[in-house]
Amino acid sequence: MKIEQQVSAFRPRQPKIRFGPSGIHIFERASGINLLVDEIIPPLAKWAIVPRQVSIALTNACDLDCPYCFAPKTRATLPFDRVVSWLNELDANGTLGVGFGGGEPTLYRRFIDLCAYATNHTNLAVTFTTHGHHLEDAFLAALNGKVHFIRVSMDGIGATYERLRGRPFKSLEKRLDAIGKIMRFGINYVVNADTLNDIENAAMFAERVGASEFLLLPEHPVKGRAKLTDNTANALRAWVSQYAGGLRLAVSENGADGMPTCDPLPNEIGLQAYAHIDANGVLKRTSFDCEGVDIGGGNILSALHQLKQLTEITK
């Protein structure tokens, strides 16, 4: 019943078709259905020239201070009109989905307007990543029909979560219950020495509250913190291999090494698959990269061309 209500909230649109090196990709954003016709490989001249997925950090502002957060703490916010122009350009050239982030995207002043524009005026799937505590009932009601999927960050449960995030775990549980009543959502789980011991209970909790995905994010070194230790990484791989729950598991690209992953688009890699725009308007290969290309007053295609050249030079 929840799925029927959520699908009917969106304006009907034709599925989006994307040509690429792995075949013909057909995507329907309201249901999240993906179909790949890999018996036919389109000629190179017809391949989409923009990434399949683009994340956009709308603002660096956040009211939490998680020790493992990679987002810059410098003040920066993207102008609404610039983001709208990028959405139009990405949509017209073959991007399937955009993910808003930050910082905390719900602190972006015109966040609801931006989600509404993307859903009503483009054929992009709209997602965002949030700590979830600002998703009060009225805010969620305003987002209903304007967002296709929400990713909620939850690192550890109970006392572990409260120590790392500085917010009551019960408050998060209440917000997840409210989210699940109106739209699909997943859990993002940073894995490190602090959170590994909670991972089994966290996955059970995520399944119980109705999440449709459990995204594992092995900690990336930031703020002088060391990378994930070999012992923790090996323990994570062992847990994934033995996982018997009913929740779909996923893993970030930088943490996929050694994982029993399945990639349906093995030939669509690098900037064909993903790019990130930070809150200063710099186009990067990933959100962790320190360098990229300033889009400035130009367009994404031009910046993407420059970034591809820069990537080739630095290989």
Quick: pLDDT tens for 83-94: 999 999 999 999
Sheet strands side by side (includes 125-130): 249-251, 214-218, 185-191, 149-153, 125-130, 97-101, 53-57, 274-277, 282-284, 293-294
Between residues 253 and 90, the one the model is more confident about: 90
Pick from 166-175, 271-280, 285-294: least confident: 285-294
Mean pLDDT of 176-189: 96
Q: What is the pLDDT of residue 7?
A: 38
- Between CA 2 and CA 6 the distance in angstroms is 6
Mean pLDDT of 155-171: 95
pLDDT tens digits, residue range 112-125? 999 999 999 999 99
User: What band does 278 get if pLDDT is binned at 50, 70 and 90?
Assistant: very high
Q: Is 47 in contact with 20 (CB distance < 8 Å)?
A: yes
Between residues 90 and 315, the one the model is more confident about: 90
E-state strands within 41-168: 53-57, 97-101, 125-130, 149-153
- Between CA 104 and CA 58 the distance in angstroms is 8
Q: What does the buried/exposed string (b/e) look like for 255-286 if buried means 16 or more CB atoms within 10 Å of the residue's CB?
A: beeebeeeeebeebeebbebbbbbbebbbbbb
CA angle 242, 233, 131 (to 5 degrees): 90
- Between CA 61 and CA 75 the distance in angstroms is 7
Q: How many CA atoms lie within 13 A of 47 on its CB side?
A: 18
Structure tokens of 209? 């509250």
pLDDT tens digits, residue range 92-111? 999 999 999 999 999 999 99
- Between CA 194 and CA 239 the distance in angstroms is 16
User: What band does 10 get if pLDDT is binned at 50, 70 and 90?
Assistant: low
Q: Is 117 in contact with 154 (CB distance < 8 Å)?
A: no
pLDDT value at 212 more than 70: yes
pLDDT value at 3 more than 90: no
Q: What is the pLDDT of residue 295?
A: 96
Mean pLDDT over each residue of the chain, to the nearest integer:
91
E-state strands within 102-208: 125-130, 149-153, 185-191
Q: What is the pLDDT of residue 223?
A: 63
pLDDT tens digits, residue range 48-61? 999 999 999 999 99
All domains in the chain, ordered by first residue: 2-314 (3.20.20.70)
User: What band does 68 get if pLDDT is binned at 50, 70 and 90?
Assistant: confident
Q: What is the pLDDT of residue 261?
A: 78
User: What band does 36 get if pLDDT is binned at 50, 70 and 90?
Assistant: very high
Question: Which of 181, 230, 183, 191 shows the shortest CA–CA distance to 214?
Answer: 191
Q: What is the pLDDT of residue 79?
A: 97
Contacts 24+ apart (CB under 8 A), 30-35: 30/6, 30/148, 31/3, 31/7, 32/125, 32/148, 32/149, 32/184, 34/264
Q: What is the pLDDT of residue 12?
A: 53
Q: What is the pLDDT of residue 2?
A: 34
Q: What is the pLDDT of residue 4?
A: 34
Q: What is the pLDDT of residue 158?
A: 97
User: What band does 315 get if pLDDT is binned at 50, 70 and 90?
Assistant: low
Give the C-alpha distances (Å, rounded to integers) separating 277 from 102, 124, 126, 284, 298. Answer: 10, 16, 15, 6, 14
Structure tokens of 56? 């956009």
pLDDT value at 6 more than 50: no
Pick from 67-76, 132-141, 293-302: least confident: 67-76
Q: Is 77 in contact with 108 (CB distance < 8 Å)?
A: yes
